[in-house]
Structure 1
Amino acid sequence: MDYTYFQISEQSLVVEFPEQINVEENKLIQSVARELIADNAVGVTGVIPAYHTLTINFDFDLTSYNDLVNQIDEIISNSNDQTTTGRTIIELPVCYNQDFGPDLQDVADFAKVSVDELIKMHTSTDYFIYMMGFLPGFAYMGSVPEQIAMPRLEVPRKKIAPGSVGIAGAQTGMYPVESPGGWRLIGRTPVKLYDPANPVLKYQSGNYIRFKQISEQEYADIQKADANGEYELNVITEGGRNDG
């Protein structure tokens, strides 16, 4: 796979792959990031994986740009020889209705389908988590069926409730905390996605999210159980080596 290096500061470099939203490419980026952290690579102080880039911060007193490039080249070469067929899928319950998803009808109209058909389309795909940001626990995932890939709102909302599930072009994702945002909201999960008192996330880059439609009563029941620490997300591991 083709890639290029750019040194963006004395102590930072970027590995850039072809500009695309591609699962296999992103898996490689995340694999390199994990290897650098897991191996305690000398001089590496941080890694930031994104859709098609990997930013690496390093201490130039402990390593050099050229040494780091050589190490990354070796990791990528070894990664190309490995097969990753396993998947970790987190099943996330979502209530799709007009109160929780004010853009539900607009997205259905955009796709020229009924609301029920839209929900079926959104829940029929397992979504790969390409990267995390712009909020703690915000997962950038893709790709939704092209027919429902409605662009962002022209004017973002000033306040979006935690747990809201939205679409922005080919991407889908969940707002883990209250935030402004311009994604098209189609539903909401009752599960608390991020807790600053316990910031360990229930999912990470490389996992898959599978949305499961629930009723309003199920939403209320799960929300109560989750608040009491009595609700566990369903996690499915499919053979081979896990991506997450």
Structure 2
Amino acid sequence: MVTIKPAGDQAVTVEFADRIDAAVNARVIALADALKARPVEGIVETVPTYRSLLVYYDPGRIRGAQLMPLLHERVEHLTEGGENTARHFRVPVCYRGDDALDLADLAEIKNISPEELIALHTAADYRVYMIGFAPGFTYLGGLPEALHTPRLAVPRQKVAAGAVGIGGAQAAINSLSGPSGWRYIGRTPLRLFAPERAEPSFFRAGDMIRFFEIGADEMAALERRAASGEAIVESEAA
């Protein structure tokens, strides 16, 4: 049952469920897309999360009490699969050297070789559930169960942008350098957040990702190209 309730005096949250589930997340994104395709006067922004949609509004143009029944109506008329078409990406990752902060330790914990761990990680299809925590930070579902691992007991003070991590049953890509308790096994040269772009966050909720391994030399070359503003990763057909 969908629940809609106030979130402060300028937003409401539309909660679709109390669990993490791809079908639930698809409905969240479908509502966001529907509101983009047919805007409601007064809505200024929508933020998809794992299981809910946060809807910001201008109280000078619409009141929360007016908005909530309109959102209920939109939810009731959502079509299966929504209006969203997932984009598919192949994302390069270097799993070697200083980019593989926790790879060796995690392989030892799992009693497998680093190569087997990389093979498991690159064989999976990952869903972008949400963008949050930091601008462009990408939360991913689809991590193989064999790689599920609790976060570090003591967070690191600084992890590089582009670091590819594991935290419990989740995977993620770090968008900006900063502290983190995730376990990082590689790094991508892709710039997840660039404020000069028309769409600053590279990924959107609902996108699909598959990682592939690159070496240190290719990593360095792709980082130079990305720093110059070149698009090093393009969307693929499903």
Mapped contact 2:121–2:144 kept (Cα < 8 A): yes
Supply the distance in 1 between the matched residues of 2:141 and 2:37 (Cα, whole angstroms).
Answer: 27
Q: Which residue of 2 aligns with 1:209?
A: 209
Secondary structure of residue in 1 paired with 2:69: helix
Following superposition of structure 1 onto structure 2, how do residues 1-244 of structure 1 map, counting pairs within 5 Å? 2-81=1-80, 86-198=85-197, 200-238=200-238
CA displacement, residues 105-145 of structure 1 (integer Å, 9 cap, x when unaligned)? 12212322211111111111121111111111111111211
Structure 1 residue 75 displacement after superposition: 2.0
Q: Structure 2 counterpart of 1:193, which letter?
A: L
Mapped contact 1:129–1:209 kept (Cα < 8 A): yes
Structure 1 residue 214 displacement after superposition: 0.7
Supply the distance in 2 between the matched residues of 1:177 and 1:82 (Cα, whole angstroms).
Answer: 32
Secondary structure of residue in 2 paired with 1:150: coil
Residue correspondences, number: 237
Identity of aligned residues (%): 34
Supply the distance in 2 between the matched residues of 1:92 and 1:45 (Cα, whole angstroms).
Answer: 32
Q: Which residue of 2 aligns with 1:242?
A: none
Structure 1 residue 183 displacement after superposition: 0.7
Mapped contact 2:163–2:188 kept (Cα < 8 A): yes
Unaligned runs of 5+ in 1: 239-244
Supply the distance in 1 between the matched residues of 2:53 and 2:84 (Cα, whole angstroms).
Answer: 22
Secondary structure of residue in 2 paired with 1:235: coil
- TM-score (normalised: structure 2): 0.89
Evaluate the alpha carbon distance shift between residue 202 and residue 172 of structure 1 in structure 2; reply closer, same or farther with a 3 A threshold. Answer: same
Mapped contact 2:30–2:84 kept (Cα < 8 A): no
Secondary structure of residue in 2 paired with 1:21: coil
Mapped contact 1:131–1:139 kept (Cα < 8 A): yes
Supply the distance in 2 between the matched residues of 1:226 and 1:10 (Cα, whole angstroms).
Answer: 40
Supply the distance in 2 between the matched residues of 1:50 and 1:155 (Cα, whole angstroms).
Answer: 26
Q: Structure 1 counterpart of 2:73, which letter?
A: E
Supply the distance in 1 between the matched residues of 2:231 and 2:9 (Cα, whole angstroms).
Answer: 47
Supply the distance in 2 between the matched residues of 1:81 and 1:114 (Cα, whole angstroms).
Answer: 42
Supply the distance in 2 between the matched residues of 1:232 and 1:167 (Cα, whole angstroms).
Answer: 24
Secondary structure of residue in 2 paired with 1:87: coil
Mapped contact 1:8–1:14 kept (Cα < 8 A): yes
Supply the distance in 2 between the matched residues of 1:114 and 1:68 (Cα, whole angstroms).
Answer: 54
